[in-house]
Amino acid sequence: MERFTAVAALGVPYALRTPVPLTELLRRYYPGKFNVVLYFQQPRVPEAELEADVARTLRLTMYALSGEAPPDLVPRWLTGTPDLPRLGTGRVTQPALYISGDLDSAYRFGSLDPMKEAVTGLRDIIILPGCGHWTQQERPTEVNERLIPFLAYALEA
């Protein structure tokens, strides 16, 4: 982490590593349940489904994680994904900024507590109302209005 003067995270909050791979934890604690992470671990299955109609796949994925999607769509898609405990030692001491949408699945179904503990340089948490997972695409003006002053501050520090 010594290579960066500052860090800004959009959407997914920083969390420390789990003691075993995420896929192993998901299989162990949620056997038989659909999980999007495990789905993409299968050889050739996701590719075949997604490549059948690439344009449709991209439209559906972008929409499903946007702030315009029905509120129950992402929970159904991510069924079985747990909030994993914070384990490990990595800390972020540089000035840090976190920006997310209140409808982002990473924010809605997770916790910011692990990030607050691990990111000692956290300067601000900004949650944009009505915004989904594609924070910088859905709210470019608001992101830039917060990001530019933060980076100017970080460069001066």
Query: Any idea where the domains of the chain sit in the sequence?
Result: 7-156
Whole-angstrom CA distances from 102 to 47, 66, 77, 111 are: 30, 10, 18, 12
- Polymer length of the chain: 157
User: Does pTM top 0.85 for this prediction?
Assistant: no
Per-residue model confidence as pLDDT tens for the chain (157 residues): 467 889 999 998 888 777 778 788 888 887 887 777 788 888 998 889 888 998 988 888 888 878 888 877 766 666 544 474 433 456 888 999 999 999 998 898 888 998 998 899 999 999 999 999 999 999 999 999 999 999 998 888 7
CATH of domain 7-156: 3.40.50.1820
